[in-house]
């Protein structure tokens, strides 16, 4: 008997997972990536003559929960039309029975890869972070909490655009309660089919997870849960790693629950105290101590970039002088140059 090596088996598995596009408007181009419950492929939309990304359910789903979750994700994306949220174009079921949705095909890199390869300046990274916050703030305004914000779920486009991806764990709230989101298509439309999120179930990515999320306290999750994750992303952009790390997910969760995030300036003294204070406020252990919204966090970072005072940091008189000098550097240099020239002229006249 001849045994197949691992590479051949892997190839056969990938071929078996390829979506059946027979009779659809799509033609297979290549594979883009994989997630926990699905695969993403580049396909050609023959009707519109463009490439799109096709997300297809792959994991076994005997109970239909994952299928309902994918339908739910597509419906959430459909309501979030924003420049920094990937737009959805189509949703349905393939001839092989699998659920799919088609979205814009992004040409770019994940945020973590972009940071490692591009090595952007600090202002450039902060301006990109503001775009991420604006997308999340827009979602919150429409009653959607992402619940899994992390660098791997942000794409940086070829022209510097930031797109928040993977809304599979998103929660929709309305009038203070979780709102049912229609599930899969049946006769007469999309009936309620939301995947229930149970109290005590931990959802998300540990290194970017708020303490209340790590406890599985689902009922208390709100916009400030995403603010914490945004603070962890800001920490990552400044430090190159998340605030909490560990050998296992359980170890990271334990640290999130019992410890304060390490100070940024303890690792890198070049990071301004103001940025450290903004990050600390976003990463506060108690939700009520954080920024109330992603918009507030974006505004704070914007004020820092503009050389204005921020709410998270109490300035000393020296801080005020330093900030004003930095903000008005050109004027200060011109005045100093003028004074130096006057001194030179006075010395020359006195000879």
CATH number reported for the structural domain that contains residue 73 in this entry: 3.30.200.20
R_g of the chain, CA atoms, integer Å: 25
**Which CATH number belongs to the domain containing residue 286 in this structure?**
1.10.510.10
Show the domain range for 341. 317-349
297 and 161 together in one domain? yes
238 and 122 together in one domain? yes
144 and 273 together in one domain? yes
Rounded CA-CA distance 125/283 in Å is 19
| Count of domains forming the chain | 3
159 and 249 together in one domain? yes
274 and 134 together in one domain? yes
Does residue 175 sit within a domain? no
Residue in 45, 148, 166, 226 annotated catalytic: 148
Burial class (CB in 10 A: 0-12, 13-18, 19+), 198: exposed
256 and 138 together in one domain? yes
324 and 285 together in one domain? no
148 is catalytic: yes
136 and 233 together in one domain? yes
Residue 23 CB: number of other CB atoms within 10 A?
8
Rounded CA-CA distance 188/173 in Å is 24
166 and 252 together in one domain? yes
Does residue 231 sit within a domain? yes
71 and 150 together in one domain? no
Tens place of pLDDT per residue across the chain (351 aa): 555 565 544 444 555 578 999 999 999 999 988 765 778 999 999 999 999 999 998 766 666 788 888 888 999 999 999 999 999 999 999 998 889 999 999 888 999 999 999 999 999 999 999 999 999 999 999 999 999 999 999 999 988 899 999 998 898 886 444 444 444 433 333 333 333 333 344 567 899 999 999 998 888 899 999 999 999 999 999 999 999 999 898 999 999 999 889 889 888 889 999 999 999 999 999 999 999 999 999 999 999 999 888 998 787 766 656 766 666 566 556 666 766 776 776 777 766
């Amino acid at each position: 008997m001849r045994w197949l090596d691992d590479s051949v088996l892997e190839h056969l598995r990938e071929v078996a997972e390829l979506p059946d596009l027979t009779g659809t408007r799509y033609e297979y181009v290549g594979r883009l990536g994989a997630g926990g419950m699905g695969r993403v492929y580049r396909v050609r939309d023959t009707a519109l003559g463009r490439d799109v990304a096709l997300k297809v359910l792959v994991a076994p789903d005997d109970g239909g929960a994952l299928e309902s979750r994918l339908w739910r994700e597509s419906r959430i994306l459909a309501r979030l039309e924003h420049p920094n949220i990937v737009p959805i174009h189509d949703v349905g079921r393939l001839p092989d029975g699998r659920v799919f949705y088609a979205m814009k095909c992004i040409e770019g890199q994940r945020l973590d890869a972009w940071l490692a390869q591009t090595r952007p300046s600090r202002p450039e990274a902060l301006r990109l972070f503001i775009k991420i916050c604006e997308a999340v703030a827009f979602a919150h305004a429409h009653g959607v909490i992402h619940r899994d914000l992390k660098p791997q779920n942000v794409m940086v486009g070829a022209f510097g655009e930031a797109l928040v991806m993977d809304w599979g764990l998103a929660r929709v709230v309305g009038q203070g309660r979780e709102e049912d989101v229609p599930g899969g298509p049946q006769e007469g439309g999309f009936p309620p089919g939301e995947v229930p999120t149970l109290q005590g179930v931990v959802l998300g990515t540990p290194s970017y997870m708020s303490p209340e999320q790590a406890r599985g306290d689902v009922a208390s999750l709100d916009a400030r849960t995403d603010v914490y994750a945004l603070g962890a992303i800001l920490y990552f952009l400044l430090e190159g790693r998340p605030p909490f790390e560990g050998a296992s997910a359980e170890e990271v969760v334990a640290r999130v629950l019992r410890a304060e995030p390490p100070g940024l300036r303890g690792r890198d003294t070049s990071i301004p105290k103001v940025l450290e204070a903004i990050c600390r406020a976003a990463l506060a252990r108690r939700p009520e101590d954080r920024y109330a919204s992603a918009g507030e966090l974006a505004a704070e970072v914007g004020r820092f970039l503009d050389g204005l005072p921020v709410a998270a940091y109490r300035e000393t008189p020296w801080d005020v002088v330093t900030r004003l000098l930095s903000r008005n550097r050109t004027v200060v240099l011109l005045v100093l140059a003028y004074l130096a020239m006057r001194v030179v002229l006075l010395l020359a006249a006195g000879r």
